[in-house]
Amino acid sequence: MTIETSRALFNEQIKDPCIVDFYTTGCPVCEKLAPVYGDLSEERDNLTFYKVNLDEDITLAETYGIDHVPTLILFDGGQPVKVHTGYLDKEGLSAFIAGGKEDSV
């Protein structure tokens, strides 16, 4: 299950291991990633899947230097540990989470 989150809750939520999908509405690549992200969230118990709509609040994008969407960030202990910008298929997203495809923070 994916959880839509906001700036008000964000810092508390990212304390536990999680992945966050920063997206905008109307973004074709974001729309293509959404079902992949949602499907994988149903298969993973050890990681919380959050979504942040940057159309509603750009503050988090500024905080994490996001200038393209979709951007995925893995957090651990409140700190970003890996970042990926762009589309990933299910295999690619699984590899990113597991440590395969990676853009280091």
CATH number for the domain including 51? 3.40.30.10
Least confident of 18-27, 33-42, 51-60, 94-103: 94-103
pLDDT the model gives residue 99:
80
CB 54 within 8 A of CB 23: yes
* Average pLDDT of the segment spanning 27-34: 98
Q: What pTM does this model have? A: 0.93
Residue 105 has pLDDT above 60, yes or no: no
pLDDT over 90, % of the chain = 90
Give all strands of the β-sheet with 103-104 in edge-to-edge order: 2-4, 48-53, 18-23, 71-76, 79-85, 103-104
* Domains of the chain: total: 1
Range of the domain at 50: 2-104
Residue 42 has pLDDT above 80, yes or no: yes
pLDDT the model gives residue 93:
97
